[in-house]
Structure 1
Amino acid sequence: MNRILSLLLSLVLLIGSSCASSSASSTSRSGGNDTGKATAVKEDLSVYRPKYEVPEANATAARVEPTSHNNEQVAVLMDTVASVNKNIKYAQGYRILAYNGSERQTVMNLRKSIISRVPNEKDYLTYNQPNFRLMVGDFFNRVEAQQVLNQISDLVPNAQIVQDKINIRKSY
């Protein structure tokens, strides 16, 4: 047991002395500073850096003019894309499901109150026997639908946002 302890003790001393000698040699390399702080060694590396010639400020480079103009081709492609987009009438989006039930008078009163509250939004009333279904708006994203839902939430507390095929408004 004593032999193992003496072996461990000698190993610790060996490691400690090797660390101490390297730190002593680093302070001697730094200029023999006795304060214990290691200072950085300053070497001049500018002799190894590449040197480049700087062009004169008044010397102008020759301007290169483009030879192939694709503006006409791009204009034709943009017209094609615009004509295809004019034919698109529907997109995937969101609507607010305000009512789904069988009472006709209830859905009509609710429709009038929603139209008076948000007149800019279109309403869609469908009847699939025996149920009426009232949907409001054509929204591309859920945030727009949530803003309108917040405006009518006191009228219809159970209204919810649903995904649906929406009509695209054309303004041209």
Structure 2
Amino acid sequence: MKKNKISGLVLSFLFLISCARTPGTVSKLEETAAVEDLSAFRPKFPAPPVETINETKPVTEPVITVTPTHHVNNRVLALLDTVANANKAIKYAQGYRILAYTGTERKIAMEMRRSIIDRIPEERDYLQYRQPTFRLKIGDYMNRIEAQQVLSQIKDISPNALIVSDQINVNR
């Protein structure tokens, strides 16, 4: 039993020594590399003569414009109308809002709402209450860049505000 412990200690010691870092060595190429000036042996080429450019205007061919005919017909117009009507029916889309406040104090939520509306009156606010928290969300943005611009305007009012993905109202 004692032999096993000693041999285990010796093996672990040898293993630890084998993992140790070896001292850095300099390669022989770095020691023997000579610095020589080889510019005398490099070939030299004469520079090509500079041609003078005549100031004549290039000859341009006349541009022929083609006017399209029959590019929009009645069938295409009907399809475009149906797509436009379908797009008008869309009221909601996936987008972004600014989550300005999350907490249990209604008074704080209303004060923050008033101060944000005073600063940015054109943005719509959404105050939601899910027991026990109030959530104040601002705006309807199709992309994060629009939301980030408004977030930078209200960051001093609501320093913990962040951009969240939400279903937004599409204004037509």
Shorter-chain TM-score: what band? 0.5 to 0.7
Show the counterpart of 1:151: 153
Cα 1:97/1:72, change in 2 over 3 Å: same
Aligned length: 109
For residue 123 of structure 1, the aligned residue among 101, 122, 125 is 125
- Detail structure 1 runs of 4+ shifted over 4 Å in the superposition: none
Q: Give the drift of 1:70.
A: 5.2
Write the distance in 2 (CA, Å) between the matches of 1:147 and 1:158: 16
Matches within 5 A, 1:60-71: 71=73
For residue 110 of structure 2, the aligned residue among 108, 119, 142 is 108
| Secondary structure of 2:81's aligned partner | helix
Larger Rg: 1
| Secondary structure of 2:121's aligned partner | coil
Cα 1:136/1:70, change in 2 over 3 Å: closer
Show the counterpart of 1:134: 136
Root-mean-square deviation (Å): 2.2
Matches within 5 A, 1:1-172: 71-170=73-172
Given the two structures, how large is their TM-score scaled by the length of structure 2? 0.59
Amino acid at match of 1:112: R
Identical positions, percent: 58
Write the distance in 1 (CA, Å) between the matches of 2:74 and 2:168: 35
Given the two structures, how large is their TM-score scaled by the length of structure 1? 0.59
Amino acid at match of 1:77: L
Write the distance in 2 (CA, Å) between the matches of 1:70 and 1:112: 51
5+ long unaligned stretches in structure 2:
1-43, 46-65
